[in-house]
Amino acid sequence: MNKFAKTAGLVIAGIIVGLLFFAVATKDTSFGGVYQQVVQNFDKGIVTSDISSINALTETGSTLTISQTGATRTLTEQELIDNNVIEIADTAGSAALVLTLPATSTMVRLLPNASDRREWIIDNQHAAATTTTITAGTGIDLIAYTTNDDVIDGLEVSILTCWRKTVNTDVYCLTSELLKAD
């Protein structure tokens, strides 16, 4: 069992025990040392040094809107940390955009440990004929289902999933262009 599962299990067990105690107890009831220890632990807060692992599983975040017209744009680690959706705005005179992922040497907070994983939605809102191409930064191995999944056509969406390799400090990024189904 991994550290996250153990921590999550302990938190859930503690909450259940706490709720049971409060459900049957009155203000004047004392349950002794075990109850007191549970109360002290809750008062201190159940926060572990692995809080970043919990954040990585949370489906929250902001949208990074890129309004650049053409050329190349390199994403930063902070932009990837702060956002779950990358929206390529349809601006006047939009030209094809090359969206470059940051070098793995700059991903020290984003994917610090082997097997750490993050996922983003890239929404290309350009006109149908205007593409956005995802390119790899240094240390990234870009993989896809087909040889063209790194090119997101206008008005289409892609899922980008990146994870830290276990054999070295490189990162695999899987890109998969999705087509509108309706």
Q: Which two tokens stand for residue 161?
A: 């999933």
Beginning with the edge strand found earlier in the chain, give each strand of the sheet holding 71-74 in spatial order.
Answer: 71-74, 97-100, 132-135, 151-152
pLDDT at 129: 82
pLDDT in tens, 72-124: 899 999 999 999 999 999 877 778 899 999 999 999 999 999 999 999 999 99
Determine the Cα–Cα distance for residues 126 and 104; give it in Å rounded to an integer.
28
β-sheet bridge partners, residue 161: 119, 174
Are 66 and 19 part of one and the same domain?
A: no
Q: What is the percent of the chain where pLDDT is above 70?
A: 67
Q: Does residue 147 come out as left (phi exceeding 0), alpha (psi in the -120 to 50 range) or beta?
A: alpha
| CB-CB neighbours of 97 under 10 Å | 21
Q: Does one domain contain both 10 and 49?
A: yes
Clarify whether residues 106 and 168 are in a common domain: yes
Domain boundary (12, 33, 54) is at 54
Strand partners, 99: 73, 134
Number of domains in the chain: 2
9, with CB counted inside 10 A (0-12, 13-18, 19+), is exposed
Backbone angles phi, psi at 13, to 5 degrees: -60, -40
Do 38 and 102 sit in the same domain of this protein?
Answer: no
Q: Examine the pLDDT at 161 and tell me if it is beyond 90.
A: yes
Domain of residue 13: give its range.
3-54
Element (H, E) at 35: helix 33-44
